[in-house]
Amino acid sequence: MSLAPYDEQMGQIADLLCAVNVLHWDARTLMPAAGAAARGKQIATLTGLARDLATGEPFRAALDAALEVTAALPADDLSRRAIDQTRLAVETLRRIPKSLIVEAADLAARAESAWVEARRTNDFDGFAPYLERTVALQRQRAEAIGYAEHPYDALVGQYEPGMTLARLDTLYATLRAGLLPLIERARSLPEPRLDLLRGPFPIPDQKAFASAMAARMGYDFARGRLDDTAHPFEISFDRTDVRITGRFRDTWLPSGFFGVWHEAGHGMYEQGLDPAFSRSIFATDLVGLYAVGGASFGMHESQSRLWENRVGRSRRFWALHCAEARAAFPRQLADADADSLWRAVNHVAPGLIRVEADELTYDLHIMFRTDLEAALMAGDLAVRDLPGAWSDMVRRDLGLDVPNHRDGVLQDVHWAAGLMGSFPTYTLGNVMSSQLFAAAGRDAGVTSGLERGDYAPLAAWLGANVHRHGRSLTPDAILRRATGSSLDPAPYLADLTRKVDQLAA
């Protein structure tokens, strides 16, 4: 009895899903708007084929044989872990009807194109029918997967195994209690020199500086590329081809810089997958039918938020790289100093746009999105009432009025893409990022590297403790091995408290 049939069929599934990712990347970067309907059919066809392979009798037989072969191996053996994870994922996938998977894949491609136009024209009513059907399909998906307490549990659990709405509520309560006093304190501080960030900054120059710094952090452009899009994302087809995108504005420098470094963190995770895992379960989400190597969306976000915030927004970073920024923008930053730039990029002020939010208010955006998604899944909120509910929560949590749909309910692509339940993973990633950064900081080589602007030791530490494992370990197992504890918000709140203390000094 051999593992060869299992390996071959698992590789075929992964190849199909990598092809789907190529189609998604093209749709979000280069495809003409008129191609959306045909692209939806193409993606649906390939996704359906991947589902057929994963749930068909040939793969069932290959999986059963592989389970028998590996049963005698140690519990932590790589092959045994891979095959057991496949078994669990396929059991869940079989509960989701193929018709539901195919329709959702087709809808997402068309809905994303409709969202781009709706956002451009501020037309929520034009997008609403797509969102209504998306919500209906997501409810069906939750029922098919099954849940103990709330339909939202089934959705968020796809992106973060074991996570539930009840657990999120507990975490959010802890974070709110710590964040709100910090936000109030930070907002009482004198306003920094925000004029330094308002430009105009030529977009090609922004791209050049952001890309050079991403490469220094460890993103390998020989196995990646940077493109423009309406909403930044990272996507991989294999560890040898991992692409990132950005969204730049010539009137606001931080959005381009931090967006690229955020996506580069995602990209480094996928590029850091152990080569032995290619074309395997470790590079394929069989429940979501998505080619991705990270252990979970939350663990993925931990990498992007770590590079964006723990490194890119640190005082040390701007002390080291202020001169390079001035050289890149000699006219705009002629009188900028390191401290002024650091204070400017860490200015705390509630804003409408999540991807441009400061560290302290960012999680408030995630919390109210979670509330809205849970209400939609429970049937307590209708899509037609979503803009009003959004505005009410922005006023409640951020103290702002929402002037239009573009900067409100239409600002994120996630619902168009069918990613309902994924928003909490950003906050989970924030929490994990601080835990991992603190653990990495106990390595003298990492610390000395950061002090001199050498990011290779930190990248290597993350590669060894997070990236290389792919999906062979659960997020909790990775955290425990790397940091010694499960999910814990204390290091995150400690990081933010130190940041406010520094800003106040």
Residue 442: Cβ within 10 Å count: 11
Residue 281 has a pLDDT of 62
Distance CA 312, CA 260 (A): 11
Residue 77 has a pLDDT of 82
Q: Which of 468, 464, 456 is nearest to 439 (CA)?
A: 464
Taking only the tens of pLDDT, the chain with its 505 residues reads 688 999 999 999 999 999 999 999 999 999 998 999 999 999 999 999 999 999 999 999 999 999 999 999 998 887 788 888 889 999 999 999 999 999 999 999 999 999 999 999 999 999 999 999 999 999 999 999 999 999 999 999 999 999 999 999 999 999 999 999 999 999 999 999 999 999 899 999 999 999 999 999 999 999 999 999 988 999 999 899 999 999 999 999 999 999 999 999 999 999 999 887 766 666 789 999 999 989 999 999 999 999 999 999 999 999 999 999 999 999 999 999 999 999 999 999 999 999 889 999 999 999 999 999 999 999 999 999 999 999 999 999 999 999 999 999 999 999 999 999 999 999 999 999 999 999 999 999 999 999 999 999 999 999 999 999 988 889 999 999 999 999 999 999 999 999 999 999 9
Q: Which long-range contacts (CB under 8 A, 24 or more apart) does 19-23 make?
A: 19/46, 20/46, 20/47, 20/50, 20/105, 20/289, 20/290, 20/291, 21/235, 21/236, 21/237, 21/290, 21/291, 22/237, 23/109
3-state secondary structure of 441: coil
Query: Are the CB atoms for 182 and 496 separated by under 8 Å?
Result: yes
Q: Which residues pair with 242 in a beta bridge?
A: 236
Residue 279 has a pLDDT of 65
Cα Dmax for the chain: 71
3-state secondary structure of 289: coil
Query: Are the CB atoms for 428 and 160 separated by under 8 Å?
Result: yes
Residue 250 has a pLDDT of 95
Annotated active-site residue in 103, 112, 263, 359: 263
Residue 299 has a pLDDT of 98
Residue 3 has a pLDDT of 87
How buried is 448 (Cβ within 10 angstroms: 0-12 exposed, 13-18 middle, 19+ buried)? Answer: exposed
Q: Which residues pair with 241 in a beta bridge?
A: 238
3-state secondary structure of 216: helix
Which tokens go with 483? 């940091």
Q: Which long-range contacts (CB under 8 A, 24 or more apart) does 142-146 make?
A: 142/377, 144/95, 144/96, 144/97, 144/100, 145/92, 145/95, 145/96, 145/287, 146/95
The bridge status of strand 226-228 relative to strand 241-246 is parallel
3-state secondary structure of 182: helix
Residue 357 has a pLDDT of 94
Distance CA 74, CA 80 (A): 8
3-state secondary structure of 238: strand
Note if 301 is an active site residue.
no
